[in-house]
Amino acid sequence: VKSCLSNQKKWSHLKAFISLHDPTKLRVDAERDCDYHAPHHMYPYWRLIAIKDNICTKDLLTTTASRILKDFKSPYDATVVEQLRDAGFIVAGKTNMDEFGMGSHSVHSFFGSVKQEGLNGEELSAGGSSGGSAVAVKTGQCFAALGTDTGGSVRLPAAYTGVVGFKPSYGLLSRWGVIAYANSFDTVGIFGADVDETYSIFETLDRHDPKDPTSLPPSTRTRIRSLVACRGYQPRWRIGIPLEYNIAELDPIVRSTWLKSLRLLQSKGHTLHPVSLPTTRHALSAYYILAPAEASSNLAKYDGVRFGTRADGPDGTPESVLFAKTRGQGFGVEVKRRILLGAFSLSADSIDNYFIQAQKIRRLVQREFDNVFSLPNPLLEESDSFAEVDVEKGVDVLICPTAPTLPPPLSSLRDQSPLDAYMNDVFTVPASLAGLPAVSVPVQHIKEDSSPTLGEHVGIQVIGQYGHDTLVMNVARDLE
Ligand code: GLN
- pLDDT of 76 > 80? The answer is yes
Task: Please work out whether the CB of residue 181 comes within 6 Å of at least one atom of ligand 1.
Answer: yes
pLDDT at res. 45: 44
Contact 151, 183 (CB under 8 A): no
Q: How far apart are CA 194 and CA 319, in angstroms?
A: 51
CA 94 from chain center: how many Å? Answer: 16
Distance separating alpha carbons of residues 224 and 467, to the nearest angstrom? 6
What is the structure's pLDDT at 376? 87
Distance CA 245, CA 426 (A): 9
Instruction: Measure the CA dihedral 190/191/194/200, to 10°.
Output: -30
Comparing 14-18, 38-42, 417-421, the range with the smallest average pLDDT is: 38-42
Rounded mean pLDDT of 86-95?
92
> What pLDDT is recorded for position 308?
81
User: Which position among 74, 113, 125, 129 bears the catalytic label?
Assistant: 129
ipTM over 0.95 threshold: yes
Which comes out higher in pLDDT, residue 21 or 55?
A: 55
Q: Which of 22-26, 160-164, 331-335, 450-454 has the lowest mean pLDDT?
A: 450-454
How many whole angstroms separate alpha carbon 402 and alpha carbon 104? Answer: 13
Q: Is the CB of 425 under 6 A from ligand 1?
A: yes
* 402 Cα to the center of ligand 1, angstroms: 14
Per residue in 367-415, pLDDT tens?
A: 999 999 988 898 886 655 555 556 668 999 999 999 999 999 999 998 8
CA distance 424 to 129: 12
**Is the shortest distance between the CB of 99 and ligand 1 below 6 Å?**
no
Per the annotation, the verdict on 52 as an active-site residue is: yes
Task: Check residue 120 and give its pLDDT.
Answer: 81
Catalytic annotation, pick one of 74, 106, 113, 153: 153
Confidence of residue 267 (pLDDT cuts 50, 70, 90): very high
Closest CA to 236 of 438, 420, 391: 391
Of the chain, the percentage scoring pLDDT greater than 90 comes to 75
Q: Is the pLDDT of residue 58 over 70?
A: yes
Phi, psi of 173 (to 5 degrees): -100, 140
CA 423, 425, 428, 434 torsion-angle sign:
negative
133 given a catalytic annotation: no
Arithmetic mean of pLDDT, 144-157: 98
List, for residues 181-231, the tens digit of each pLDDT value: 999 999 999 999 999 999 999 999 999 999 999 999 999 999 888 877 776
Ligand 1: atom nearest CA of 424 is: 1
Mention every residue, 6+ apart, whose C-beta is less than 8 A from residue 207: 83, 174
129 belongs to the catalytic site: yes
The four Cα atoms 157, 162, 164, 167 give a dihedral, to 10 degrees, of 20
pLDDT at 164: 98
Question: Rounded CA gap, 175 and 339, in Å?
Answer: 22
Closest CA to 430 of 159, 224, 245: 245
Report whether pLDDT(364) > 90: yes
Q: Cβ distance 157 to 186 under 8 Å?
A: no
Long-range contacts of range 23-28, CB-CB < 8 Å, 24 or more positions apart? 26/1, 26/90, 26/92, 27/1, 27/2
The pLDDT assigned to 44 comes to 44
Q: Which of 15, 52, 94, 115 is catalytic?
A: 52
The whole-number pLDDT of residue 40 equals 47
Q: Which residue has the higher pLDDT, 90 or 45?
A: 90
pLDDT tier, 233 (very low <50, low <70, confident <90, very high otherwise): low
Strand positions, DSSP E, 137-234: 144-149, 164-167, 187-192
Whether pLDDT at 454 is above 70: no
DSSP codes of every residue in 383-433? -S-STT--TTTSBSEEEEESSSSSPPBHHHHTT--HHHHHHTTTTTHHHHH
CA distance 72 to 93: 15
Best residue among 55, 109, 150, 154 to mutate for probing ligand 1, ranked by most atoms within 8 Å of CB:
150
Ligand 1 proximity of 189 Cβ (cutoff 6 Å): no
Residue 42 reports pLDDT greater than 50: no
- List, as own/partner pairs, every contact residues 255-259 make where C-beta atoms lie below 8 angstroms and the sequence separation is at least 24, other chains included: 255/401, 256/445, 257/401, 257/443, 257/445, 257/458, 257/460, 258/399, 258/400, 258/401, 258/458, 258/460
Does 41 score more than 50 pLDDT?
no
Mean pLDDT computed over 431-455: 79
Torsion of CA 30, 31, 36, 42, to 10 degrees: 90
pLDDT tier for residue 314 given thresholds of 50, 70 and 90: confident
Helix (H) or strand (E) holding 328: helix 319-330
How many angstroms separate the CA atoms of 176 and 166, rounded?
A: 19
Average pLDDT, rounded, for the chain: 91
Test site for ligand 1: of 53, 95, 97, 98, most ligand atoms within 8 A of the Cβ: 98
* Spatial distance between the Cα atoms of 284 and 234, rounded to a whole number of angstroms: 34
pLDDT at 268: 94
Confidence of residue 321 (pLDDT cuts 50, 70, 90): confident
**Rounded to a whole number, what is the distance in angstroms from the first to the last CA of the chain?**
26
Whether 227 contacts 259, CB under 8 Å = no
pLDDT score at 387: 54
Delineate the domains of the chain, giving CATH numbers in brackets: 1-275+399-480 (3.90.1300.10)
Give dist(CA 301, CA 299) in Å, integer. 5
The pLDDT of residue 391 = 61
Secondary element (H or E) of residue 462: strand 457-464
Does the CB atom of residue 176 touch ligand 1 within 6 A?
A: no
